[in-house]
Amino acid sequence: NAGVMQNPRHLVRRRGQEARLRCSPMKGHSHVYWYRQLPEEGLKFMVYLQKENIIDESGMPKERFSAEFPKEGPSILRIQQVVRGDSAAYFCASSPLGGDPDSPLHFGNGTRLTVT
Amino acid sequence: AQSVTQLDSHVSVSEGTPVLLRCNYSSSYSPSLFWYVQHPNKGLQLLLKYTSAATLVKGINGFEAEFKKSETSFHLTKPSAHMSDAAEYFCVVSEVSSASKIIFGSGTRLSIRP
């Protein structure tokens, strides 16, 4: 049973370009979470999605960031017009029971975005 | 409001000696508490979780943690450190059924001296 798959592992973008980060949850999981980890910091919640629905996006910046989890295919985190401050590791996690405080999250290995 | 505080940003111990990583939390309700480990350039792996059952929780790789409600603590311990334990450790509190209420601590980097 494959774990949470994120790609690419490393992504380099110039300022102003778009970054697209992909996440395939574990088999049988329909709840996906995106987190951002800045250097020397913990994880900050960004967005929680179920298939075709955004459930909680309270951690998403108001501009340039969007996320989707279509009926078919992986979840996508999209960052438009990237700036240097977007450089971070972006982690995706999935769980079988969304919103269950007892349900642990299963993490991917992350995508490390570098904006030059 | 809930929060989690990891009291040490960096802990260094000698191989074979005990490990103590401290975590304090605040919560309005009965929380669920987790410890995750992150090895370099890897994702986070669940070490153990507390969900209102036994207060002493045993996890993988010889780690355990004790939930102490009176002290609002959930410290992570291991009797004897191994070189492979060098990693970043995150204490996590989850309170209600809301994704944004899963709160991560800022992490403790554990270094192991030979």
Query: Residue-wise pLDDT tens for chain B (114 aa)?
Result: 678 999 999 999 999 999 999 999 988 777 889 999 999 878 889 999 987 778 899 999 999 999 998 999 999 999 999 999 999 999 998 876 565 567 889 899 999 999
Any CB–CB contact under 8 A between B7 and chain A?
no
Q: What order do you get walking across the sheet with A75-79 strand by strand?
A: A5-7, A19-24, A75-79, A65-68
* pLDDT score recorded for residue B62: 96
* pLDDT score recorded for residue B77: 98
Which residues of B are less than 8 Å from A33 in CB distance?
99, 102
Shortest CA gap A82–chain B (Å): 22
Could you tell me which residues of chain A have a Cβ less than 8 Å from any Cβ in chain B? 4, 6, 33, 35, 41-45, 48, 55-56, 58-59, 91, 93, 98-102, 104-110, 112
- Cα–Cα–Cα angle for A69, A92, A110, nearest 5°? 130
**3-state DSSP assignment of residue B62:** helix
Token representation of residue B104: 């991560």
Q: Which of B41, B94, B106 is nearest residue A42 as measured by Cβ atoms? A: B106
CA nearest A104 in B: which residue? Answer: B46
The Cα–Cα gap between A11 and A20 comes to: 9
- What is the arithmetic mean of pLDDT over A71-89? 95
* pLDDT score recorded for residue A113: 97
CA nearest A89 in B: which residue? Answer: B41
Round the average pLDDT of chain A to a whole number and report it.
90
Residue, of B67 and A28, whose pLDDT is higher: B67
- Give the count of Cβ contacts less than 8 A between chain A and B: 68
Closest among B97, B87, B40 to B60, alpha carbons compared: B87
CA nearest B93 in A: which residue? Answer: A101
Inter-chain touch B94–A33, beta carbons under 8 Å: no
**Whether A49 contacts A71, CB under 8 Å:** no
Which residues of B are less than 8 Å from A104 in CB distance?
34, 46, 49
Token representation of residue A89: 């590791």
Inter-chain touch A45–B99, beta carbons under 8 Å: yes
Inter-chain touch B105–A4, beta carbons under 8 Å: no
Closest among B32, B43, B36 to B21, alpha carbons compared: B36
pLDDT at A97 over 90: no
Residue, of A39 and A32, whose pLDDT is higher: A32
- Of the listed ranges A23-37, A82-96, B42-56, the least confidently predicted one is B42-56
